[in-house]
Structure 1
Amino acid sequence: MKVVIAPDKFKGSLSAMEVCNAIEAGIHQYNPAIETIKHPLADGGEGTLTILQNHFNLKSVSVMVKDPLFRDITTTYKHNESTAFIEMANASGLQLLEESKRNCCHTTTFGTGQLILDAIKKGFKNIVLFIGGSATNDGGVGMASALGYRFYSESGEEIVPIGEELIYINSIDSQKLLFDIKDVNVTVVCDVKNPLYGPNGAAFVYGSQKGASAAEIEMLDAGLYNFSKQVSKYLNMDVGEMEGAGAAGGLGAGAVCFLNAKMQSGIDFVMEQTGFNKLLDDTIDLIITGEGSVDKQTIEGKVIKGVSERANQAQIPFFIIAGVVKDEALIKSNLKPKDVVSIMGLGVAVEEAIKNAPHYLKKLSCQLLETYGEK
């Protein structure tokens, strides 16, 4: 028997490779003779560079940049000979802020722009930008400001490139860019399809997770709408309804506007780069995938969705193991796994589930193999 183990990370608990190791231990507890192939995955959000590093020998570059609150930090991006791989969460991510400091009205993607500019100055013509895990809702104006774009209010004052200032943008100046947009090929990798503004836009869907109140979310959404109007007027680009425009607080739209970037699905990119599709030949008997939290967003473009599509196409049964499962009926009807199980389904307290996640993943995977082996 041959089993492919292909999970995402369990956020706040285990890396994707650690999840692989725990599941493998459970499989081998059931039967040490089972052949396992560990293939950790990511969906384009934070942690994606770690996954790519598992498959390729990428080099790191350290750069001092501004964090989401304009504080100096040293962070990194990775590269091969021709391409720079930049994870915006390393410069502008929610992970960089203590909980009391999280409010996307006041945060910026300026540091992400500094990473991009550093890569351009070092001669990289191809840039892959991963835009999950942001602390921001600035439409990418912070990133653009670091690259030389300027944004002005009706009174002619330069605005601070943060979320709450978007509503005041009245003009955009691209006359003093620090790079030549024709010389750079940018691919934006993301895992969401939200438009820029509106009920399903960046502010309303993700603003509360980033510390914004209900009133602030209304203001941020109005700011994103105003931003799209000014982009249409000054850059002749319509990004408001573009799929993925609302990713990372509107950085999806900003990358397209300010870098002429192309958008690509996160999970498709990672699976393509890491050769996942080539694994699924007729020698594979089972796939086990999973992530920390499985819910209705899972079916939109997360790791499990990508695995399910390929497993069903290849007619290989697959299981989902999660920390917690919501919307289980929706998951089963849409993705068609053989089963969905979770650590919380064992009646474990949240703190215990996080602290001893490897133990419970081992237990669940062993139980799944016992059930599967009986059929």
Structure 2
Amino acid sequence: MRILVAPDKFKGSLTANEVCLAVENGVHLIDSSIEVIKHPLADGGEGTLEILQNYFKLETISVLVKNPLFKDITASYKISKNTAYIEMSNASGLQLLEKNEQNCFYTTTFGTGELILDAIKRGFKNIILFIGGSATNDAGIGMAAALGYEFCNSKGEKISPIGKELLNIAEIKRNHLKIDVNTINFTVVCDVKNPLFGINGAAYTYGSQKGASTQEIELLDQGLQNFSNKVEKYLHTSVSTIKGAGAAGGLGAGAVCFLNATIKSGIDFVIEQTRLKEHLKKGIDLIITGEGSVDKQTIHGKVIKGISDIAQENNIPFYIISGIAKDRELVEENLKPSAISTIVDLNVPVEEAVKNADFYVSLITSNIIKSIKKANK
């Protein structure tokens, strides 16, 4: 029997590698003869480069940039041959700010633009931008400002490239660009498909998680609409209906209109880059996947969705292991796993579940293997 183990991380508890090891341990507790193929994954959000590092060699470049509040920090990105891999969260991520500093009404992606500019100055012609985990809702105007774009209000004054100022953009200038976007291939990797604005847009979906008040979220959404209108007027690009435009506070849209980038599904990109499907050539009897929390977001571009697609295409049964499961019926109906098993189902206190998640993942795995063996008798 050959089992493919391909999970995401359990955020705040286990890395994807640690989940793989816990599952392997659980399998071998029941049957040491079962072959376990460990293939940790990510969905294009923060931590994706850590996963890619498992599959091919990446070098690290460190740069002094601005954090989401324009304070100096050292951020890094990865390089391989002629490609630079940049996680926007390293320069513009929510984890860079204290809780009392988090408010996407006032934050910027300027530091992300500085990382991009550094990579271009070093001669990289392919830039992969991972845009999960942002602290921002500036539609990428901070990133663009670092690259030489200018944003002016109705008085012709340059505005600060933060979320609050989106509503005040009257003109977009590109007279002083520091790059030629036509000579560089930009790919944006993200794990959501939200539009730029509206009830499912960047501000209304994620603004509160990034510290914005109800009133600020309304203003941010209006700002994103204004941004869309001005982009169409001055850059002749329509971003209002692009899937993923609302990712990372609108950076998805910003990357398209400022960098001429192509947006790709995070999990599809990672599956392709890590050559997961090559395991199928030798035959796989079962797939085990998982993430910390399963919910309605799981069915849209997350690791488990990618695994579900592969499992169904190849008629392979797959199991989901997670810390907690919300919207269970919705996930079961859409992704069709053989079962969803959670640590919470074991009646374990949350603190204990987080602290000893590896033990409980192993336990759940052992129970899965036992049930399969019993059914096959």
The TM-score bracket by the shorter chain reads: over 0.9
Shift of 1:352: 1.4
**Secondary structure at the counterpart of residue 142 of structure 2:** helix
- Alpha-carbon separation, structure 2, partners of 1:71 and 1:369: 51
* 1:332 equivalent in structure 2: 332
Letter in 2 for 1:98: E
- Alpha-carbon separation, structure 1, partners of 2:290 and 2:169: 42
Which stretches of structure 1, 4 residues or longer, exceed 6 Å deviation after superposition? Answer: none
- Spell out the pairing of 1:116-131 with structure 2 (5 A cutoff): 116-131=116-131
Letter in 2 for 1:224: L
Letter in 1 for 2:188: V
Shift of 1:262: 0.7
- Alpha-carbon separation, structure 2, partners of 1:56 and 1:263: 23
1:172-203 CA distance string (max 9 Å, x none): 11010111111111000111111100011000
1:255-293 CA distance string (max 9 Å, x none): 001000011111000000100111123621110000011
Letter in 2 for 1:97: L
Give the root-mean-square deviation of aligned CA atoms.
Answer: 0.8
Shift of 1:30: 1.4
* 2:259 equivalent in structure 1: 259
* 1:139 equivalent in structure 2: 139
* 1:195 equivalent in structure 2: 195
Letter in 1 for 2:342: S
- Alpha-carbon separation, structure 2, partners of 1:100 and 1:349: 28
**Secondary structure at the counterpart of residue 281 of structure 2:** coil
The reply to whether residue 19 of structure 1 matches residue 19 of structure 2 is yes
* 1:315 equivalent in structure 2: 315
Letter in 1 for 2:259: L
Shift of 1:354: 1.1
- Spell out the pairing of 1:8-47 with structure 2 (5 A cutoff): 8-47=8-47
Letter in 2 for 1:245: A
Letter in 1 for 2:13: S
* 2:91 equivalent in structure 1: 91
5+ residue gaps, structure 2, are: none
5+ residue gaps, structure 1, are: none
* 1:348 equivalent in structure 2: 348
- Spell out the pairing of 1:291-306 with structure 2 (5 A cutoff): 291-306=291-306
Letter in 1 for 2:240: G
Shift of 1:328: 0.5
Shift of 1:164: 0.8
Shift of 1:372: 1.5
* 2:164 equivalent in structure 1: 164
Letter in 2 for 1:66: K
**Secondary structure at the counterpart of residue 348 of structure 2:** coil
Shift of 1:17: 0.6
**Secondary structure at the counterpart of residue 136 of structure 1:** coil
- Provide the identity percentage: 62
The reply to whether residue 207 of structure 1 matches residue 203 of structure 2 is no
**TM superposition score normalised by structure 1:** 0.99
- Alpha-carbon separation, structure 2, partners of 1:214 and 1:205: 12
* 1:285 equivalent in structure 2: 285
1:4-26 CA distance string (max 9 Å, x none): 10000111111111111111111
- Alpha-carbon separation, structure 2, partners of 1:292 and 1:338: 18
